[in-house]
Every structure is written in structure tokens, then in C-alpha cells.
Amino acid sequence: MSRKLIVGNWKMNGSLASNDALVRELLEGIGQPACDVALCPPGIYVAQLQNLLAGSPIELGVQNVSMNENGAYTGDVSAEMLKDYGVRYAIVGHSERRQHQAENDVHVALKAKRALAAGITPIVCVGETLRERESGMTEFIVKRQLSAVIHLNGHCISEIVVAYEPVWAIGTGQTATPLQAQNVHAVLRAQIKAATEHADRVRILYGGSMNAANAGELLSQPDIDGGLIGGASLKSADFLKIIAAARA
């Protein structure tokens, strides 16, 4: 497996001033990281981050992309538009969008397809709710969600990143144990291997409240290739500690 990947998802947080301060602190402390790093700010700040990150080891990502190529889709931003700003990664199918914007597996698969066509790597999020976990449906849910993306994108599947984000552990302070996370990552790894002979290219991130305290143990698991970081990515010291823990 290649270098690990640490992605900061700022969600709906930030301002011109706070973004500038946070990025400068990160760039002062990051040095030459032993992993790949990306930041996904709110869409309105993509141009600002493009300028702040230019020439740095941190790549630019976004939190969403339209499933449509162009046209009368008010409020949407296409993958080709994001490409103009040097966007490298696009989060698709985050549980918060599945919940609040009623995105389904087909929408997520289409968004991944648009991103791939523009040369942007989609970070495909999958994960189960607490009720689904307690009902023993975790494997069924994550495989179904990923299957939709595999089915629509075929041979391109080796170019995606997958993020396992147990919904019950997002922003709750709860975290899957390293063994729980590893077990689901292993299921996803097997599913990807069945779909492509280039499965070793696909990095699978853990995205459920990874923080500076638990990152090392989670990232030491054999099938966890990085992290999709929420709240901790808004604190430079914590984010830098997670980056430091992500050694291949």
C-alpha cells in the first residue's frame, strides 16, 4: 500500500481570517509529511485555499460535487469547475449529506463518476447508523453503498478513495474500537479486490471521530490507510499530531 492519506473535512466552519490563520499554522508545522494530506473547506473558500496551499505539501479538496455535468442546476458546482481551481479530492456521500440532503447510493455513484471524469479523486463515504449496527447490518450496509459506486464506475474503481465513517461515531465523541474499524475495513478491502485487479491502489480511510489521542492505534491497523478528520482538523496542533501518526 502507498502512503497513508489524511484529509481534513472542515464541514460548515471557517472564515477568511480563521482559514488564513489555520493554514499558516499547519504549513509552519508540517515539514515534509510522511503521508499525503488534503484539506476540504466549504466551497466558498476553495479559491482562498488554492492560494494559501500553492506550492505546499497539502492538497486541496472539496466537500461535495454535482452529479450533473453542467446546465440548469442552481446551486450546484460541477467537477470541471472544481478542476479549474486545482481541486484534487472530492468527498462524496458523506453521511451528513445522505441524512440532510437525502442523497442516496445512486447520487453518490454519479458524483464519483463526474469527479473521476474530471481527474478528481472521489472520497466515497460509507457507513452504518447505530440502529443498523445493533441489528447486525453493518456489513450489508457498507457493501451495498460501495457496490453502487463499483457498478457505475467499473474499471475506474481503482482510482477512488473509500472512507468508512460509522454514522454513530461522527461528531459524537464515540469512536469505533481499532478492532471494530479494522473488521469493516477488511470487508471493504475484500469487496474492492473482487472488483478490480488493482485493489492495492485504493486507500480506505477511517472517518469516525479520529483524533490526536486515538490516531496512532487506528492507523496501525493493517487495512486502515488514513483518516477523514472532522473536528480535529480545525485545530492545527491536533491535526499535525494525526499527520505525524500516519506513517506508511
11 labeled part of a ligand binding site: yes
Nearest 5°: CA angle at 23, between 123 and 210? 45
Grid cell for residue 11: 464541514
Q: Please enumerate in sequence order all residues whose Cβ is within 8 A of that of 95, keeping only pairs 6 or more positions apart, or say none.
A: 125, 127, 165, 167, 170
96 counts as catalytic: no
Determine which one of 94, 103, 128, 159 is catalytic.
Answer: 94
Determine which one of 59, 103, 165, 185 is catalytic.
Answer: 165
Grid cell for residue 187: 470487508
230 labeled part of a ligand binding site: yes
209 labeled part of a ligand binding site: yes
Torsion of CA 178, 179, 183, 184, to 10 degrees: -40
What is d(CA 202, CA 192) in angstroms, rounded to the nearest whole number? 8
What is d(CA 227, CA 162) in angstroms, rounded to the nearest whole number? 10
231 labeled part of a ligand binding site: yes
Contact indicator for 177, 209 with CB cutoff of 8 Å: no
107 counts as catalytic: no
Position of cell 500553492? 54
Contact indicator for 14, 40 with CB cutoff of 8 Å: no
Nearest 5°: CA angle at 85, between 159 and 88? 20
SS3 205: strand
Residues placed in the known binding site for substrate: 9-11, 171, 209, 230-231
Q: Which residues participate in catalysis according to the annotation? A: 94, 165
